[in-house]
Chains A and B, each alone.
Chain A
Amino acid sequence: MKLNLKLTEKEAITIKVSMIKNLFVILFTLFSSIIYASDDASHKSDTSASEGNHENHETKFDAGEFITHHIADAHEIHFFTLNEGTDHEKHFTIYLPVIVNTGSGLEMFSASHFYHNKHNVEVNGKHKHYFTYNDLVLFEEQIYKASGIEGIQFDEAGKITNQSLTDFSPTKSVIGLFLTGIILLLLFGSAAKKYKSRPNTAPKGLQNLLEPLVIFVRDDIAIPSIGKEHGHRFTPFLLTTFFFIWLANILGLVPFFGGFNIMGTLGVTLVLATLVFIITTINGKAYYWSHIFWPHGVPLPIKFILVPIEIVQIFMKPLVLMIRLTANITAGHIIILAFTCLVFIFGQQNVGAGYGVGVGSVLFMIFMYFIELLVVFLQAYVFTLLTALYFGAALEKPHH
């Protein structure tokens, strides 16, 4: 009887998984039209007024914009462009669905509508571009309500004055996150099956790859930081956090793969940090709170200084987690992109110089990639370890 129940539970899970898989497939096919076409004209359908500026814009390489564009979240996953700057420009891109609250309800459409309506504008002497679709404007990957003749308006300081709209779109980082989740589920799901089918035997194949990492998180992060009593309870969360961050970071290092900057997106790390904050707060024992609101063994006047600091620290700890991860991953991407930019900057002055610098740049980039491989692991480790330490502090028992 019990055996039967288990089987059905297992079946239910597999059904759930396949349902989720199907859902993703449908999501992709429905909303993201993969464009392998030479859609060029639309890209060049700039307003005639800025035609001249446009030429200027094309010839002058702007490293700042190039880097910002690559590390920023987007409503498309851009793989690469063929014949850039010619009439046969080909973009290999997945356009993601846009879900936006226009004020009169949610509207959903493919981001290709935006990206096929590119416009250039000069703001305080700087060349910027924006996209329009119906009465919506996409500027620096933010969606606004269109206003004015050109659809976009700026104040004297160069700040956009359009009404900002609530954007519910699954952006590039979100898709990257889904991808990370699917890979994790497949990887660990199949490993778990092996564990079930071959109990009490030496690990084999995939298990050999994942087991040391799982044991590392359990025995070197969870148990020492939280303690034997509660450590096992938080191990699943810590394992998920660790592998999520690590794999998402690795995806960001794969070239020609959309240039994901998942953990460099503040919204993603914000969610992780918030979860850490919630779990820490919920699990905080009396000793933890007493430590914050009434520090022991400290003179009364000092308590008045310490208590506000401690209260701020409750929020500061997860905030620092969030910023550290985002900054580190973004910085890694910026450094690699900066070396790429160097080649183009020098190449614009002199083709020979471009090739010359290119050799050095590539060597540095290879070096940086190795460093980044270490950093992406390290950041996952640091985030998980600190999370575990915060959990440990929340669950700490008074020492007698």
Chain B
Amino acid sequence: MLSAGLGTIFWTSVAFLSVLFLLKKMAWGPILKSLKEREDFIADSIKSAENANEQLSLMKADNEKLLAEARAEREKILKEARDMGEDIVAKAKKVSVEEQQRIMAKAKEEIENEKTAAIAELKTQVVSLSIQMAETLLKKEFENKEQQSKLVEDNLKTAALN
């Protein structure tokens, strides 16, 4: 039962070797080749996907950086604008206060001038009025001689004292 007949050996060799040859040509060659190709293809695809992903993340980082920069820029501009505005307001305030002070000073000066002028005018008026009154009074006084002489004398007395 466990004998190895020559016929069996011969035919087995023929069968196995021809199947080995045919399978190698028809099946294993193409199958193994396309399996390898597919594996390489998949590996390549994964690699390129990874690359794309990396690039994408790089781009994203870039974008974020740009965005951050833009944001910072905006902040800066806004701050500058605010500062400028504040500056302008402050300056305006300062100018207006100065102007006001200047106007006030001018007004004061003018008032002072007017006042002086008015006082001077008043003085002249008072003088002329006093002169008029004095004239009138004098006219009345000097209607008699006696009184005149008396007055002169009085005046002389006071003058002599000075």
Contact = CB atoms under 8 A, between A and B. Distances in A.
A268 interface: yes
Interface string B1-40: 1111111111111011011101111111111101101100
B15 A177 contact: yes
Nearest to B2: A266
A232 B25 CA distance: 15
B41 interface: yes
B22 to A, nearest CB: 6
Given A192-B27, A240-B19, A271-B16, A215 B35 contact: yes
In the complex, which of the residues B10, B12, B34 has the most CB atoms of chain A within 10 Å of its own CB atom?
B12
A196 B5 contact: no
Interface stretch (A110-118, A166-174, A307-315): A166-174
A236 B24 contact: yes
Interface string B116-140: 0000000000000000000000000
A351 interface: no
Interface in A140-186: 140, 142, 166-171, 173-174, 177-178, 180-181, 184-185
B13 to A, nearest CB: 5
B31 A271 contact: no
B23 A214 contact: no
Given A142-B3, A195-B30, A184 B19 contact: yes
Contact of B26 (A166, A192, A326): A192
A236 B22 contact: no
A342 to B, nearest CB: 21
Interface stretch (A52-60, A65-73, A391-399): A65-73
B28 A239 contact: yes
Contacts of A265: 4, 8
Majority SS at the chain A contact face? helix
B35 A181 contact: no
A20 B21 CA distance: 13
A167 B32 CA distance: 39
A178 B15 contact: yes
A117 B15 CA distance: 31
In the complex, which of the residues B1, B2, B6 has the most CB atoms of chain A within 10 Å of its own CB atom?
B1
Contacts of B38: 199-201
A138 to B, nearest CB: 12
A236 B23 contact: yes
Given A71-B1, A185-B26, A240-B19, A214 B32 contact: yes
B31 A195 contact: yes
B26 A240 contact: no
Given A199-B38, A215-B35, A271 B12 contact: yes
A177 B16 contact: yes
Given A200-B38, A200-B41, A185 B22 contact: yes
A319 interface: no
Contact of B28 (A68, A188, A196, A211): A188
Contacts of A275: 16
Given A174-B12, A271-B12, A271-B13, A167 B27 contact: no
Contacts of A191: 27, 31
Given A168-B6, A171-B7, A236 B19 contact: no
Interface in A253-283: 265-268, 270-272, 275
Contacts of B37: 199-200
A99 interface: yes
A174 B31 contact: no
Given A17-B26, A192-B31, A272 B7 contact: no
A244 interface: yes
Nearest to A218: B32
Nearest to B17: A275
Interface of B: 1-13, 15-16, 18-20, 22-32, 34-35, 37-38, 41
| 10 tightest Cβ-Cβ pairs between the two chains A and B | A267-B8, A188-B27, A181-B19, A267-B4, A236-B28, A174-B11, A195-B34, A168-B7, A271-B12, A266-B4
